[in-house]
Structure 1
């Protein structure tokens, strides 16, 4: 026994030395490469452009670009192999430069590789928060990494680990929960799943976002002021970032909001002093969209931003502006070298200098049965049963006639929310997905009819499954009260009418709410026989039907307190929603079973 213990201890020490040795080797390589670089090459590494921008190919070689992003706009090609081919072309251009430093390729893969039609689309993070299942979240992250690599990406801008304070915020669904503790648990799982063994061809660099306070702005305004105290920020918002850093997350993205009137992109005390020094974060701090021109130009570099999204005309402004800043001593070479060292460090960790190209064999895994099986499990576990009067659920598969009502029942786009195929989502069906209606029809043995807008008068039905909710949105377009939309905290009049049409005829109604946040539906819950919070389910709508018909029990728990009244949002309790004076309709953690 003594010999075994000694051997085990020797093994642990040896592994520790090997890890330190590998890290030391990377640092030595970074230092050696950094010494060879000109100022222009260093600034190039800090520059991030889109692959479809005019002169993108030429800029990679002439301006020494360090990373490329795919955003809303022309796709790299029709097939996954086409996407890979495009990125290989760009990578070869980077490798042809004097020092041959490979590119990072980044994408907002926030619930699967959601920019590629045909990929597996998982429930958004709010739904994963409802599962509370860290093993499942880790598995989902692994699959997201595989399908991202299969389309040519080695860097993903996820997970979002914000703590939402107000349902009016348009990104509530991107975050796991209003609970700091639950967010910590799922943050660790997500980062671990995405990054794995970072040099492996099936893993990617993760990005914890958005640092910090994006979900806690006054009245839920995207990019607004976060007026929380420093103690509240430390206790409620910083904790998940500490977990991410401990899990060696490769990148952190800065947020649009302000704190004490200072843009987070220019907030040196939080970015450099708190994140980089205080938490010992050695990865990349990446800006959000067009941050250089929006938030103070060289001020954001001095604050600690390492990679700048130099898009929509910002590239020349950034590169020339930063070069001038070095010349006039307003930006130090130490700051430039720190940024480039972080970028090179992650490129070495990813193994890009040895294996700069994506693996073509991974293409076959995109949207595979195995991946969709995990996504369907996530749907089942994310559903939260709020009401089940007289045990109407589970439904019998032998039910003679079921009427399914609402456009959300028959659209994979509507059931998936924003960041699905397009930045703002889609209202159409997309490749490879199954709708909630598909699932119901497949499992039911009786008659199933579809009444899109509650005008077909199927009042002889034994039960009505009414699927209602929000239309897709992303970022500030999803803020309730934003001038660009008509979103509201309640169901639309049309959707309320769907329910009333069948309820007033005495038909038993099961309501499935598809939304990116809790909505005020107190009256609708009271008048329904069963009510389910389904969140944004992604591509596997059949998972909803499997639970409705009792193949699986409900297990989801509310990741947010559920509001009871629109009046509670009027601001009389301060700029943020939840405090001790507000009693929710359902508390966080609520959820029934059969």
Structure 2
């Protein structure tokens, strides 16, 4: 039988499962459930396991695997891009989608990407402040608008699924992903979770929206000593009260997917924790979406144990695809995995594909390409920069700066690098130190607003001591995931400024030049001494592509609005315990409390 003929029969079968009269009386979700059940009855075991499989588009034999292994979803990660332009990306994903549609049942693919602060894998897209900066804005309406733009620009590059938002509650600033989360505050995280989910998803069948993913379930930000993938030793009550609440909000807002986390609880990998993944999340919260694994989870966290625990889609990358398919088939054969578990997983995948309207509109919309990085989108990003800035000190009232200031010296490489000001997950997984397409730097903004002389002294070696004021921009180099953990063997990061950056500040302070310090970081740092000796001190977080938003506030076009999304530490001694100074027991008094922020 020809493939097209078979698929015509499939369509007839789906339609025959409920009459026209019945269809009118059923809700949209009820209609989808009928279609899902009908399609599931037609599927072979190989097709079901294929729908549970996620691979990268650039892997060897990816094209072949889509048709031979009936792959259900594609992920774009660090590695070769689908092309130079957005249309190139769409073309590549269209090619892959056509392969999926050519299979026996013609089930369309999902295309996923880590768009965590804009469509940050595509150069030229609008890059927003990371979530920690959005937490500082406390502006739910703004967060929802940013999520809408992220969804639109992600769809414009061919994606229908994003791995965002991260709704972890970080308790230790040593964790390398603090900036991916909104706040240490459960209440604030709940509010911004609702906004982000609604912004990303909207009406799922609208081609301008995408399926969102809450991550990482659960306890990833609350590991002992802030270790990525470490042990979360909080009590059941503490997890329930502090960590689960944002997920309840996400589920209530019909989030399409949730990603499991790398950490362990009572020594059990979260990927294999049935009590939390199935009993708590799927049954207890009535989550009907996709529970997706994190990177290479099948081989890392127990093989079929993760399927039995509740994982529906496996990130079968870096050689895991073959072992996953072979291992799961063997598990079903020896009855260590029940076919009912497989059917549940596949129904969840099909359900979201129907909700997204992929069976009717499987291909990306070329008309959306013109929406990438537009002036309107960048204005929203600039607004987010302005509202995220937290003024920690302005004792001498040096701010706002007069635009008529005769001479300003701008110090530090972070002032003149879009990559450094944006942090990890920007163009590349671990970020970049270079400027990238469409972005403006902090220095660009200062030069645009100042009417007097502006001199850039990158390494504080030009001895511009006759300047009226020094704007010194210092901070962390980009990092992502475990590479950002303080104490990880792969890095030499500390919870304070490098000696070089401390010297930038000292060089001008010791010469009596008034200093405004702008800190670019993914978390609070121990900068007590630098704050004490500065005339003004600003926490700017990781601000994305619109660096000129900083200048707009420094020169008084806008007031400071940002409030600390995290308590601010006084000393590195604060981090000796398991949880760090952000633990909610108030045993350590912060230098500045959660919610602190000055204004003009």
TM-score by length of 1: 0.96
Superposed, 1:300-339 pairs within 5 Å as 300-339=306-345
1:490 to 496, 504, 525: 496
- 1:19–1:199 CA distance, 2 compared to 1 (3 A): farther
Query: SS where residue 81 of structure 1 aligns?
Result: helix
2:205 to 188, 199, 202: 199
Q: Distance in 1 between matches of 2:177 and 2:581?
A: 17
User: Gapped runs of 5+ residues in structure 1?
Assistant: 1-16
User: Is the counterpart of residue 265 in structure 1 residue 271 in structure 2?
Assistant: yes
Superposed, 1:25-424 pairs within 5 Å as 25-424=31-430
| 8 Å Cα contact 1:412/1:541 also seen in 2 | yes
Q: Distance in 1 between matches of 2:366 and 2:151?
A: 14
User: Is the counterpart of residue 545 in structure 1 residue 551 in structure 2?
Assistant: yes
Residue 574 of structure 1 deviates from its aligned partner by: 7.8
Residue 570 of structure 1 deviates from its aligned partner by: 1.6
Q: Distance in 2 between matches of 1:571 and 1:51?
A: 43
User: Is the counterpart of residue 590 in structure 1 residue 560 in structure 2?
Assistant: no
| 8 Å Cα contact 2:224/2:578 also seen in 1 | no
Residue 575 of structure 1 deviates from its aligned partner by: 10
Q: Which whole-Å deviations, capped at 9, do the CAs of 1:156-183 have from their partners, x for residues lacking one?
A: 0000000000000000000000000000
Q: Which whole-Å deviations, capped at 9, do the CAs of 1:248-278 have from their partners, x for residues lacking one?
A: 0000000000000000000000000000000
Query: SS where residue 385 of structure 1 aligns?
Result: strand
Equivalent residue number for residue 542 of structure 2: 536
Q: Distance in 1 between matches of 2:255 and 2:272?
A: 22
| 8 Å Cα contact 1:219/1:576 also seen in 2 | no
Q: Distance in 2 between matches of 1:578 and 1:463?
A: 39
Equivalent residue number for residue 466 of structure 1: 472
| 8 Å Cα contact 2:574/2:580 also seen in 1 | no
Q: Distance in 2 between matches of 1:575 and 1:89?
A: 50
Residue 291 of structure 1 deviates from its aligned partner by: 0.1
Q: Distance in 1 between matches of 2:86 and 2:398?
A: 45
Equivalent residue number for residue 456 of structure 1: 462
Query: SS where residue 390 of structure 1 aligns?
Result: coil
Q: CA RMSD in A?
A: 1.2
Residue 21 of structure 1 deviates from its aligned partner by: 1.2
Q: Which whole-Å deviations, capped at 9, do the CAs of 1:86-110 have from their partners, x for residues lacking one?
A: 0000000000000000000000000
Q: Distance in 2 between matches of 1:451 and 1:457?
A: 8
Residue 573 of structure 1 deviates from its aligned partner by: 7.7
Q: Distance in 2 between matches of 1:352 and 1:492?
A: 50
Q: Which whole-Å deviations, capped at 9, do the CAs of 1:339-369 have from their partners, x for residues lacking one?
A: 0000000000000000000110110110000
Q: Distance in 2 between matches of 1:339 and 1:283?
A: 9
Equivalent residue number for residue 11 of structure 1: none
| 8 Å Cα contact 2:132/2:541 also seen in 1 | yes
Q: Distance in 2 between matches of 1:145 and 1:334?
A: 34
Q: Distance in 2 between matches of 1:379 and 1:404?
A: 19
Residue 390 of structure 1 deviates from its aligned partner by: 1.8
- 1:420–1:573 CA distance, 2 compared to 1 (3 A): closer
Query: SS where residue 343 of structure 1 aligns?
Result: helix
Q: Distance in 1 between matches of 2:356 and 2:25?
A: 15
Pick which of 19-28 and 456-465 moved more. 19-28
Equivalent residue number for residue 487 of structure 2: 481
User: Is the counterpart of residue 569 in structure 1 residue 575 in structure 2?
Assistant: yes
Residue 571 of structure 1 deviates from its aligned partner by: 2.2
Query: SS where residue 222 of structure 1 aligns?
Result: coil
Query: SS where residue 500 of structure 2 aligns?
Result: helix
| 8 Å Cα contact 1:219/1:577 also seen in 2 | no
Residue 578 of structure 1 deviates from its aligned partner by: 5.3
Residue 568 of structure 1 deviates from its aligned partner by: 1.1
- 1:573–1:303 CA distance, 2 compared to 1 (3 A): closer
User: Is the counterpart of residue 426 in structure 1 residue 435 in structure 2?
Assistant: no
| 8 Å Cα contact 1:105/1:152 also seen in 2 | yes
Q: Distance in 2 between matches of 1:366 and 1:287?
A: 29
Q: Which whole-Å deviations, capped at 9, do the CAs of 1:392-441 have from their partners, x for residues lacking one?
A: 10000000000000000000000000000000000000000000000000
User: Gapped runs of 5+ residues in structure 2?
Assistant: 1-22
Equivalent residue number for residue 3 of structure 1: none
Q: Distance in 2 between matches of 1:587 and 1:398?
A: 35
